[in-house]
Copies of this chain bind each other. A is one copy, B any other.
Amino acid sequence: MTGRTNVDRGREVRARLVAAAQELIGELGWNGVSTRILAERAEVRPGLVHYHFESLQALLRQAAIEAMGPLLTDAAQLLGAADPADAVEAMLADIDRYTGTDPASLLFIEAYIAATRDPVLREQMYDLVAAFRAAITAALVSKDHPDAETTAVLIMAVIDGFILHKGLDPQLSAARLVPLLRRLTETENGADR
C-alpha cells in the first residue's frame, strides 16, 4: 500500500553508511575511514554523511557500538546458560575462526584505541565492557568462584590481547589456552587447600 517514502530512503542511507563504516574501520583503521570512501562503499553521495550524522566521528562511533553491542550481549547470554569454563572455551574457539587481521577483529581493537581519544565513545564502550565483565563475574560467582571479578578481568584481557597477537602471528591457536584458563575458572573441587 504505502510505497517507498522519503523517510524510508533516509533510513536506508543511514543503514548503508553504518554497515560500510563497520567494514571500513577494520579495513583501513579508525582514522583511515573518510567520508568519500564511506560513501563509495555505501553507494551514496559523499555529502550524505554529514546530513545524516552530526560528524564523521559520530557515524564511526555509532557503527562501532552497534557492531560490538550484539556480539557482547550474545556472549553474555552464553555465559548465563552454560558452565563458565565451557563458555570461555566456546569463546576461544570462536576467536580461532578469525585471523586477527579480519575487519571484525580489528573493529574491536580500533574502537578501544579510538575510545582513548573520544570521551563519548569511551563512556559508551565502558558500559558495554562493564556489562560483559559483570556477566562473567556473575557466572563465576554462581559456581562459588573465590575470585570472580579479577578472573573476569583476566579472561577479557586474554581474549582481546590474544586477538592483538594473532594479527601478528595468525598461526597462534586460542584453543591451546583452554586448559590454562580452565585451571583459573573452575572452582577447586577437591585438590590442594
Interface residues of A (CB under 8 A from B): 28-32, 100-101, 106, 109-110, 112-117, 122, 125-126, 129-130, 147, 150-151, 153-154, 156-162, 164-165, 167-169, 172, 176-177, 179-181, 183-184, 191-192
Contacts and interface: CB of A to CB of B under 8 A. Distances in A.
Nearest to A177: B154
Contacts of A176: 150, 153
Contact of A153 (B32, B116, B165): B165
Taken together, the copies of this chain in the complex come to 2
Please indicate which of the listed interface residues A106, A168, A176, A177 has the most CB atoms of chain B within 10 Å of its own CB. Answer: A168
Given A109-B113, A157-B158, A183-B183, 13 more contacts: A29-B114, A29-B117, A115-B168, A150-B176, A150-B177, A150-B180, A153-B172, A153-B176, A153-B177, A154-B181, A160-B161, A161-B161, A184-B184
Contacts of A129: 165, 168-169
B151 A156 contact: no
Contacts of A177: 150, 153-154, 157
Contact of A106 (B116, B165, B179): B116
